[in-house]
Amino acid sequence: MQASEIAAIADKTGVSAEAQDTAARLSALMRHVFLYDRGNQLRVIEECGLSMTQCKALLELGGIGEGTEPRQVGELAETFGVSVPSMSRAVDALVGEDLATRVEDPDDRRVRRVAITEQGKQLVDTLLVVRQAGLESFAESLSAAQRRKLDAAIEALMDRDDIAETYQHLKGVQA
């Protein structure tokens, strides 16, 4: 990422002090939760040899984002704000590891889409299990009062379609 891109991301113009404080609190919580289980999720990613771009693409193809439909490389690149060549290299590596495959578009035979393989689904499931276990461990470490407050705060966000959809998907994975 270029310095100018980082500067644009960090620009706080139009962000209220209250939103900045909420973001700082959320960032502290996310950092703690992400590393609470000694970084097990990161360890799984690292042991698989996946780059962050590859991991994001795999999770997207595995149904955590838009669903499990095969996607064009350009769509994946746009979703994550990376160049098409960068995403193409990431997809090539996933295909090489049998985590994804290129399939013909049913509407246009000239177009190739990327789909997750069974091995890729198993890796996504592993990542979800490890993340869920870490979050459960963290939730268990909270007092009953802290857990109730956290549940109430999260419940207040469930009216957002994007969050509610992911929650329903994850609940289905656990069942």
pLDDT tens, residue by residue, 33-44: 877 777 788 888
Decide if 44 is inside a domain: yes
Residue 112, H or E segment? strand 112-116
Confidence band, pLDDT 50/70/90 cuts, at residue 1: low
Q: Which two tokens stand for residue 113?
A: 């889409």
Decide if 109 is inside a domain: yes
Number of H helices, E strands in the chain: 9, 2
Decide if 113 is inside a domain: yes
CA-to-CA dists, residue 171 to 16, 43, 129, angstroms: 34, 24, 12
Residue 116, strand partner residues:
100
Decide if 169 is inside a domain: no
Q: Which amino acid is at 37?
A: D
pLDDT in tens, 150-166: 999 989 888 888 888 87
Q: Where residue 111 sits, what CATH number does that domain have?
A: 1.10.10.10
pLDDT in tens, 56-108: 999 999 876 555 788 999 999 999 999 999 999 999 999 999 999 998 878 88
Residue 154: CA count within 13 A, CB half-sphere = 12
Note the pTM of the prediction, 2 decimals.
Answer: 0.77
Decide if 22 is inside a domain: yes
Decide if 92 is inside a domain: yes
Check residue 105 and give its pLDDT. 79
Contact assessment for residue 127 and residue 45, using Cβ atoms and an 8 Å cutoff: yes
Range of the domain at 131: 17-141
Q: What whole-number percentage of the chain has pLDDT above 70?
A: 91
Q: Which residue bears the tokens 């407050």?
A: 149
Check residue 93 and give its pLDDT. 95
Q: How many domains does the chain have?
A: 1
Decide if 93 is inside a domain: yes
